[in-house]
Amino acid sequence: MPSSLMSRRNALKLTVAGIGTMLAASKGLIPTAHGGTYSMKPHAYKDNLGIQLYSIRKQLLESAGDAFEKLAAIGYQHVEWFDVTSLDTLAPLAQSHGLPITSAHVLSPYITGNKLMQAVIPDDLNSPEKLIEKLNKFGINHLVLSYIFDDERQHIDQYKTLSEQLNRVGELSKTAGIQLCYHNHDFEFQQLNGQRPFDLLLSELDHENVKFELDVFWAKYAGLQPDELITSLADRCALLHLKDLKSMPSTHATTHTPADEAMFKPVGSGIIDFEKILSAAKQVGVDNVFVEQDHNTGHIFEDLQSSFNYLQTLNIK
């Protein structure tokens, strides 16, 4: 990489870091080891709840300004982006409503460089270096691989290749002050060629350069206890997705079973024990937690308000 480009990036990183520090201080937050923030208030997660914007993808298309205003009014403190192609147009709007962006999701082609599949990558994001530069522009300090497509996970060896690719991008990201993370679904916990892909990822991924964003819904759906998994991951668990599960699928232990939309519930209205989860998160030092609701059967902002209100009632130890 040309030294002049690296110099520009370093200067940009320092500038954004300063802005990020001021924004964090204004919201009563302090930095964490993974590059995230903790609230200086007694309950770090309850007073510093984030929201994954995939939850309101339809509302962002209708009126992004109104959507951000409603999130801020509920009490959410920061957001996790789900479509990096919209950063230039919508990120300033989110920030103007007091919602800094602390994390961003990308699909696999942004990390692997594989065929575009369902992703359309613009020229200004068509390499890991360009993606990292874009995140630095907006002070985003976590980058998350959100999903890998079906044809990328047909054999365990594909996860070995993916681990190598994640390690390379993770090293680039870390140098730029950004923590790369892998977001799970349920299929990583199912046997593939005699091995659980999640176990391979644990073995192959660099402990510092690639952390995990644990989605507690999908972990529970796969038959695990999310709080125990958080404890076992320890400092390798940097982020959490909080969403509730209506009930367990009958085939979770042996087969990847797509979740029906009705299975996704507001936090506190399903079977997941969030008090245990957030207590475990506090013990291991998880940076940030994000409420997410992939699907809803009612009014999404009412559901997000319900999730927020419920989380305020928890006794996090």
pLDDT in tens, 54-108: 999 999 999 999 999 999 999 999 999 999 999 999 999 999 999 999 999 999 9
Question: What 3 state SS string does 225-255 have?
Answer: CHHHHHHHHHHHEEEEEECEECCCCCCCCCC
Residue 42, pLDDT above cutoff 80? no
For 164-183, the DSSP string reads: HHHHHHHHHHHHTT-EEEEE
With a cut of 50, say whether residue 6 has pLDDT above it: no
Tokens of 10: 């370093």
The CA angle 101-105-110, to the nearest 5 degrees, is: 125
Rg over alpha carbons for the chain, rounded to the nearest Å, is 18
How sure is the predictor about 257, in pLDDT bands with cuts at 50, 70 and 90? Answer: low
Give me the domains of the chain, ranges plus CATH numbers: 3-312 (3.20.20.150)
pLDDT tier, 39 (very low <50, low <70, confident <90, very high otherwise): very low
Q: Are 77 and 48 in contact (CB under 8 A)?
A: yes
Q: Give mean pLDDT, residues 124-147.
A: 97
Torsion sign, CA atoms 33, 36, 38, 39: positive
Pairwise pLDDT comparison (260 vs 289), residue with the higher score: 289
Asked if pLDDT for residue 19 goes beyond 50, the answer is: no
> Does the pLDDT of residue 13 top 60, yes or no?
no
Q: What is the pLDDT of residues 136-184, one digit of tens each?
A: 999 999 999 999 999 999 999 999 999 999 999 999 999 999 999 999 9
pTM of this structure = 0.86
Pairing of strands 29-31, 37-39: antiparallel
